[in-house]
C-alpha cells in the first residue's frame, strides 16, 4: 500500500512540474517583453515575482537593472546584493553592485565591501576609486534646498528664469497611466509607443510649466498638434522666443511605418499667458536619424548650445553649438571637442560668463550624470572639472543654471527628494575661516585665548572652535563683513576688521595672526635732572628734559614715568630722606602743568642711600662729585601696569613686535642722544664736567637692556699719526673703563680709535683756533639697539 502511494505521488509530481515550468517561462517572457517595451516598472516587478518562484542569477540581474532604469536605486541595490551572493556572480556583477551601493549613499562603505569580496580596486578599472574618495572628502560649502513650490512626486527638472523673475521648467506632474504599450524616454529611440503616457514609468507626458513671481503655476500651451513630450525650455528674451525639446507622434508624421523616434528642438513666440505660437523647427532636426535636445540660448555670444547623438560625434550624446543672427539664421553645428565630449553622454549645457556647465556620464565622476564646469575662451574649452559634492551625487545630477541675479539651480534624482527628479536651489553654507595664531617663533599657540567674532552689522557672537593643530575655525556667512578680536592675558589683543566674504569665491578664508606678549615695564628712555645743594626746585637746565618727557607722555598714553630721587651724602639720613621726597614730588608737580596725571608718575626717594660715586659721608670730594649725587633719575616706561591688558598702540602698527629692540627706536634716538666727551690737550683723563653725561649713559645702559654702546676715540691734528692713534685709543678706553666701573657690562660696549683721521675741523687745510682744536679732541658715544 505504501509503495502504491509513493508511485502515485511521483506520477503526480512529474505531471505538475512541466506546468510550473511553463508558467515560469511565460512569466519571464512577459517580463522580457515589458523590458523591451521599456516598461521597466512592470518588468522589474515581474522579474521579482519570477525570482521568488525560481531564484536564478539572470532573473536577479534583470530585476536589478530594471529597478535602476526607473530610478528605484534602493531596490536595485537590494537585487544586486542577491546577484553577488550567487556563486555564478561575475566581476561585472560586482562592479554593478559597487555602483549601486554608491547610488544609495554607501560611498563610505565601498572599502569594507571590497574587503569582503575576492576582488580589489585594480579589478575595476571602470571605477575611479581615488577620484570618488577625493570628491567625497572635499565637499563644497553649499547646501541644496528644494525649489519652493515647484517639485512634485514626479519628475521636475531643467529650470530657467526670465528677467521678470518667472521660472520655467519641465515636469510630468499628473496621473500614472499603466499600459502595455511602450513608453517614450527622453534619451531613447523607439518605433512603437503609447500616445497616452510619457515614458517608461507610465507617467504623464512632460510639459513646460511656468512658476510666476506670485507663486502661481501654469502649463505652456504649444501649437504643435503632434507633440507628446515638450521639455528643456530656454529663453531668448531679446526676441520673446523660447527654445525647447520635443518628442512628436511619429505615427501622425510617417503613418504606421517603422521609424526610429528621436527628440527635436523647436522654437516659438511666447505670450504673457503662456501660449506658444509661430513655432518653427530647429534646422538641425532629423527625427528619424538622430536626436537633438537640451537647448540653451547664450544671448551674449549669440550661440545655441544643445546635445545631439548625430553622426560624427565622440560617442553617445555630444554637446554642440550653432551661432545665429538677428533673423535667427543658424550656422553650422560645432562639436565642443574631446575636451568636453566623451564616448558616452554629455547633456544639459548652460553658460554663465566664461564658464560652461554640463552633465556627463562619460567623464570621471561619482556615478550617473555628474555636473562639470569648463572655461570658455576664444581658443575653445579647457580646464574641465567635476564640481564635486554636494553638486553631484551617486545618481543623476544635471541642468545646472546660474541666473542673471546669481542664483544657482540644479536638477537631481538624488536620495531624499520629493519625486523622481527634483529642482534644487543652491545656497552657500558658511565660508570656513581658518586662522593660525602664532607666537614670535612662528609656532601655533595652543594655549587658550579668547575670540570675539561678530558681523559688522550685528552684535551676535559667532561661535568658533580650535582644531587639533590649534587653528581657529569659524563659519562665516557669505557676502558679509566681520570683526575679529583675539585676546590673551598678558598679550597685545589682535583686531581685524578686514575679514570679509564679499566676492569670496573660495570656500575657505585663511588668516595668520601673531600674538605677542606685552613687554611690561619696558624702559623706553632715561634721563637725569640735577639739583642745587639743599634745594628741590627744578633748575632751568632740567626743564627742557622734563618738558620733552611731558610731551611724549601726552602723545603716548601707554608711557608712564618712574622717578627715583637722591641727595648727596652730607646731612642726616632723615633730613636727606625728606629732601629727596621733595625732589621727586617737584618732578611730579612740574609734569602736572602739562596735564600729566599724577597717577602716571611713580615716585621713589632714597636720600643718600644710593650714591652715584664714593663720596660718602665724611669723604672729602670736589663739588662736582657731590653734584652728581644730587639727582632724580627718570625712567619713561611702556606698559607699566602688569595687571592691565593693553591694546596695541597705533604707533606700533606695522612694526615687528617680536623685536623689542626696535619698538621704540624713534623715541630713543630722539631722547637718548649723548654729547661727546672732550679731553685736554695730550690727555686721556675724564673731565669732571663730563661725569654727569657718563652717569646718564650708565643709567641708560642699566635700564635699557636692548642698547649697545659704540665708542670712538679721536685727537686733534697736531702730532704724528702713530702717536695720535695711541692717544685716541687711551681716550676711548678711559670712557669704557669709567662705565664698566659704574656697572655697565663690558660685552655691551664696543670701542674704536681713529687718531686724527676724522676731525670735526680740518685744521690741515684751514687755520684753527684752540676751540676748534678742542672739538677734535673727543670721544664720541652712540647708543643703538642690539641687532638680532
125-154 mean pLDDT:
82
The C-alpha angle with vertex 37 and arms to 370 and 30, in degrees rounded to 5, equals 120
Ranges 13-27, 321-335, 381-395, 510-524, most confident = 321-335
pLDDT tens column, 412-455 = 998 888 988 999 999 888 889 999 999 999 999 999 999 999 99
Given a cut of 60, whether residue 759 has pLDDT beyond it is yes
Given a cut of 90, whether residue 554 has pLDDT beyond it is yes
In which band, very low, low, confident or very high, does the pLDDT at 40 lie, cut at 50, 70 and 90? confident
Q: What is the reported pLDDT for 3?
A: 45
How many C-beta neighbours within 10 Å does residue 535 have?
13
CB 783 within 8 A of CB 705: no
In which band, very low, low, confident or very high, does the pLDDT at 526 lie, cut at 50, 70 and 90? confident
CB 566 within 8 A of CB 608: yes
Q: What is the reported pLDDT for 191?
A: 38
pLDDT tens column, 274-309 = 999 999 999 999 998 999 999 999 999 999 999 999
Copy the grid coordinates of residue 722.
Answer: 702713530
Given a cut of 50, whether residue 536 has pLDDT beyond it is yes
Given a cut of 70, whether residue 4 has pLDDT beyond it is no
Q: Residue 576: in which H helix or E strand, if any?
A: helix 573-592
Placement of cell 527628494 in the chain: 417
**CA 531, CA 132: separation in Å to the nearest integer?**
84
Q: What is the reported pLDDT for 551?
A: 92
**H-assigned helices in 193-283:** 250-254
CB 283 within 8 A of CB 312: no
- Of 540, 522, 521, 520, the C-alpha closest to 530 is 540
**CA 760, CA 772: separation in Å to the nearest integer?**
8
pLDDT tens column, 222-265 = 999 889 899 999 999 999 999 999 998 766 555 555 556 799 99
Q: How many residues does the chain have?
A: 788
- Of 408, 411, 417, 385, the C-alpha closest to 396 is 411
- Of 757, 748, 749, 708, the C-alpha closest to 728 is 757
Q: What is the reported pLDDT for 251?
A: 63
Given a cut of 60, whether residue 477 has pLDDT beyond it is yes
CA-CA-CA-CA torsion for 358, 363, 369, 371, nearest 10 degrees?
-40
Q: What is the reported pLDDT for 676?
A: 87
The bridge status of strand 431-438 relative to strand 508-514 is: parallel
Question: Is the N-terminal amide bond of 707 cis, ω within 30° of 0?
Answer: no
The C-alpha angle with vertex 574 and arms to 570 and 579, in degrees rounded to 5, equals 70
Cβ-Cβ contacts under 8 Å for 89 (sequence gap 6 or more)? 57, 83
Look at the alpha carbons of 646, 652, 658, 664 in this order and tell me if their dihedral is positive or negative. negative
More confident residue, 618 or 182: 618
More confident residue, 657 or 348: 348
Q: What is the reported pLDDT for 569?
A: 93
Q: What is the reported pLDDT for 12?
A: 41
Q: What is the reported pLDDT for 252?
A: 56
In which band, very low, low, confident or very high, does the pLDDT at 2 lie, cut at 50, 70 and 90? very low
* Residue 367 Cα distances to 89, 135, 145, 346, angstroms: 22, 12, 21, 13
The residues that bridge with 753 in the sheet, in sequence order, are 713
In which band, very low, low, confident or very high, does the pLDDT at 394 lie, cut at 50, 70 and 90? confident
Ranges 182-186, 313-317, 688-692, most confident = 313-317
CB 142 within 8 A of CB 390: yes
Q: What is the reported pLDDT for 186?
A: 47
Placement of cell 545631439 in the chain: 308
In which band, very low, low, confident or very high, does the pLDDT at 6 lie, cut at 50, 70 and 90? very low
CB 388 within 8 A of CB 394: no
More confident residue, 568 or 3: 568
Copy the grid coordinates of residue 483.
Answer: 570683526
Spell out the SS3 assignment of 99-156. HHHHHCCCHHHHHHHHHCCCCCHHHCCCCCHHHHHHHHHCCCCEEEEECCCCCCCCEE
pLDDT tens column, 57-107 = 999 999 999 988 877 888 988 999 999 889 898 999 988 888 888 777 787
Q: Which residues of 590-613 are buried (b: 16+ CB within 10 A; e: fewer)?
A: bbeeeebeeeebbbebbbbeebbb
Q: What is the reported pLDDT for 288?
A: 87
Copy the grid coordinates of residue 740.
Answer: 664698566
More confident residue, 270 or 115: 270
pLDDT tens column, 206-220 = 999 999 989 999 999
More confident residue, 768 or 125: 768
Given a cut of 70, whether residue 192 has pLDDT beyond it is no
CB 283 within 8 A of CB 229: no
**CA 84, CA 396: separation in Å to the nearest integer?**
24
- Of 43, 86, 85, 88, the C-alpha closest to 64 is 43
Q: What is the reported pLDDT for 176?
A: 60
Cβ-Cβ contacts under 8 Å for 359 (sequence gap 6 or more)? 346, 347, 348, 369, 370, 371, 372, 396, 397, 398, 399, 400
**CA 63, CA 44: separation in Å to the nearest integer?**
5
3-class SS of residue 676: coil
More confident residue, 576 or 664: 576
More confident residue, 666 or 535: 535
Copy the grid coordinates of residue 663.
Answer: 619698538
Q: Where are the beta strands (DSSP E) in 339-476?
A: 346-352, 355-360, 370-377, 380-386, 397-402, 408-412, 422-428, 431-438, 450-455, 464-466, 472-476
Placement of cell 592691565 in the chain: 644
Cβ-Cβ contacts under 8 Å for 401 (sequence gap 6 or more)? 159, 160, 161, 350, 352, 357, 408, 409, 410
Cβ-Cβ contacts under 8 Å for 332 (sequence gap 6 or more)? 322
14-30 mean pLDDT:
69
In which band, very low, low, confident or very high, does the pLDDT at 654 lie, cut at 50, 70 and 90? confident
Copy the grid coordinates of residue 701.
Answer: 645702559
Q: What is the reported pLDDT for 646?
A: 86
3-class SS of residue 422: strand
Given a cut of 90, whether residue 201 has pLDDT beyond it is no
Mean of the per-residue pLDDT values of the chain: 87
Q: Residue 579: in which H helix or E strand, if any?
A: helix 573-592
Percent of the chain exceeding pLDDT 90 equals 58
Given a cut of 60, whether residue 160 has pLDDT beyond it is yes
Q: Which residues of 468-502 are buried (b: 16+ CB within 10 A; e: fewer)?
A: eeebbebebebebebbbebbbeebbbbeeeebebe
How many C-beta neighbours within 10 Å does residue 134 have?
12
Amino acid at each position: 500500500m505504501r509503495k502504491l502511494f509513493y508511485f502515485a505521488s511521483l506520477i503526480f509530481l512529474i505531471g505538475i512540474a512541466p506546468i510550473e515550468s511553463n508558467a515560469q517561462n511565460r512569466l519571464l517572457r512577459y517580463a522580457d517583453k515589458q523590458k523591451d517595451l521599456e516598461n521597466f516598472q512592470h518588468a522589474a516587478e515581474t522579474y521579482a515575482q519570477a525570482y521568488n518562484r525560481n531564484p536564478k542569477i539572470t532573473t536577479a540581474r534583470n530585476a536589478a537593472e530594471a529597478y535602476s532604469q526607473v530610478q528605484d536605486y534602493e531596490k536595485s541595490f537590494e537585487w544586486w546584493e542577491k546577484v553577488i551572493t550567487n556563486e555564478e556572480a561575475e566581476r561585472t556583477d560586482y562592479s554593478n553592485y559597487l555602483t549601486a551601493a554608491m547610488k544609495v549613499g554607501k560611498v563610505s562603505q565601498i572599502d569594507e565591501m571590497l574587503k569582503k569580496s575576492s576582488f580589489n580596486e585594480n579589478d575595476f578599472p571602470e571605477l575611479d576609486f581615488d577620484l570618488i574618495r577625493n570628491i567625497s572628502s572635499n565637499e563644497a560649502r553649499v547646501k541644496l534646498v528644494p525649489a519652493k513650490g515647484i517639485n512634485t512626486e514626479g519628475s521636475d527638472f531643467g529650470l530657467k528664469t526670465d528677467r521678470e523673475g518667472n521660472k520655467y521648467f519641465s515636469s510630468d506632474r499628473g496621473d500614472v497611466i499603466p499600459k502595455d504599450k511602450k513608453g517614450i524616454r527622453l534619451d531613447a529611440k523607439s518605433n512603437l509607443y503609447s500616445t497616452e503616457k510619457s515614458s517608461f514609468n507610465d507617467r504623464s507626458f512632460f510639459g513646460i510649466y511656468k512658476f510666476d513671481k506670485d507663486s502661481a503655476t501654469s502649463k505652456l500651451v504649444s501649437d504643435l498638434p503632434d507633440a507628446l513630450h515638450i521639455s528643456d525650455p530656454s529663453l531668448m528674451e531679446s526676441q520673446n522666443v523660447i527654445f525647447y525639446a520635443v518628442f512628436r507622434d511619429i505615427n501622425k508624421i510617417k503613418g504606421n511605418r517603422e521609424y526610429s523616434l528621436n527628440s527635436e528642438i523647436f522654437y516659438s513666440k511666447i505670450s504673457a499667458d503662456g501660449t506658444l505660437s509661430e513655432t518653427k523647427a530647429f534646422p538641425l532636426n532629423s527625427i528619424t536619424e538622430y536626436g537633438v535636445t537640451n537647448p540653451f540660448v547664450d544671448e551674449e555670444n549669440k550661440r545655441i548650445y544643445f546635445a545631439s547623438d548625430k553622426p560624427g560625434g565622440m560617442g553617445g550624446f555630444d554637446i554642440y553649438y550653432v551661432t545665429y543672427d538677428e533673423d535667427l539664421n543658424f550656422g553650422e553645428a560645432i562639436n565642443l571637442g574631446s575636451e568636453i565630449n566623451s564616448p558616452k553622454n554629455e547633456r544639459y549645457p548652460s553658460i554663465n560668463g566664461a564658464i560652461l556647465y554640463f552633465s556627463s556620464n562619460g567623464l570621471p565622476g561619482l556615478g550617473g550624470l555628474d555636473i562639470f564646469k569648463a572655461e570658455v575662451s576664444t581658443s575653445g574649452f579647457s580646464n574641465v572639472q567635476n564640481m564635486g559634492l554636494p553638486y553631484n551625487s551617486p545618481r543623476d545630477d544635471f541642468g545646472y543654471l546660474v541666473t542673471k541675479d546669481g542664483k544657482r539651480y540644479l536638477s537631481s534624482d538624488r536620495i531624499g527628494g520629493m519625486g523622481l527628479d527634483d529642482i534644487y536651489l543652491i545656497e552657500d553654507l558658511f565660508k570656513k575661516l581658518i586662522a593660525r595664531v602664532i607666537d614670535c617663533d612662528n609656532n601655533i599657540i595652543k594655549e587658550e585665548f579668547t575670540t570675539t567674532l561678530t558681523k559688522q552689522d550685528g552684535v551676535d557672537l559667532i561661535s568658533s572652535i580650535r582644531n587639533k593643530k590649534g587653528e581657529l575655525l569659524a563659519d562665516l556667512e557669505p557676502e558679509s563683513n566681520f570683526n575679529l578680536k583675539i585676546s590673551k592675558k598678558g598679550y597685545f589683543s589682535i583686531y581685524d576688521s578686514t575679514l570679509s566674504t564679499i566676492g569670496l569665491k573660495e570656500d575657505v578664508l585663511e588668516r595668520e595672526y601673531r600674538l605677542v606678549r606685552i613687554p611690561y615695564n619696558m624702559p623706553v628712555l632715561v634721563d637725569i635732572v640735577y639739583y642745587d645743594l639743599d634745594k628741590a626746585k627744578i633748575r632751568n637746565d632740567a626743564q627742557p628734559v622734563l618738558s620733552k618727557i611731558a610731551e611724549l607722555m601726552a602723545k603716548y598714553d601707554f608711557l608712564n614715568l618712574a622717578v627715583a630721587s637722591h641727595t648727596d651724602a652730607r646731612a642726616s639720613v632723615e633730613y636727606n630722606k625728606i629732601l629727596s621726597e621733595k625732589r621727586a614730588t617737584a618732578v611730579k608737580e612740574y609734569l602736572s602743568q602739562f596735564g600729566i596725571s599724577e597717577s602716571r608718575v611713580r615716585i621713589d626717594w632714597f636720600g643718600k642711600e644710593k650714591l652715584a660715586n664714593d663720596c660718602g659721608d665724611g669723604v672729602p670730594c670736589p663739588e662736582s662729585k657731590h653734584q652728581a649725587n644730587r639727582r632724580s633719575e627718570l625712567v619713561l616706561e611702556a606698559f607699566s601696569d602688569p595687571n592691565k591688558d593693553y591694546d596695541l598702540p597705533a604707533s606700533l602698527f606695522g612694526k615687528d613686535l617680536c623685536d623689542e629692540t626696535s619698538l621704540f627706536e624713534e623715541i630713543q634716538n630722539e631722547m637718548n642722544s649723548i654729547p661727546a666727551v672732550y679731553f685736554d690737550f695730550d690727555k686721556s683723563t675724564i673731565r669732571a664736567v663730563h661725569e654727569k653725561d657718563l652717569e646718564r649713559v650708565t643709567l641708560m645702559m642699566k635700564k635699557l637692556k636692548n642698547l649697545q654702546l659704540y665708542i670712538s676715540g679721536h685727537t686733534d691734528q697736531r702730532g704724528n699719526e702713530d702717536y695720535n692713534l695711541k692717544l685716541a685709543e687711551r681716550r676711548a678706553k678711559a670712557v669704557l673703563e669709567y662705565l664698566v666701573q659704574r656697572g655697565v657690562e663690558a660685552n655691551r660696549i664696543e670701542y674704536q680709535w681713529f687718531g686724527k683721521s676724522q676731525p670735526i675741523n680740518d685744521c690741515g687745510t684751514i687755520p684753527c683756533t684752540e676751540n676748534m682744536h678742542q672739538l677734535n679732541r673727543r670721544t664720541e658715544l652712540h647708543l643703538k639697539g642690539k641687532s638680532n
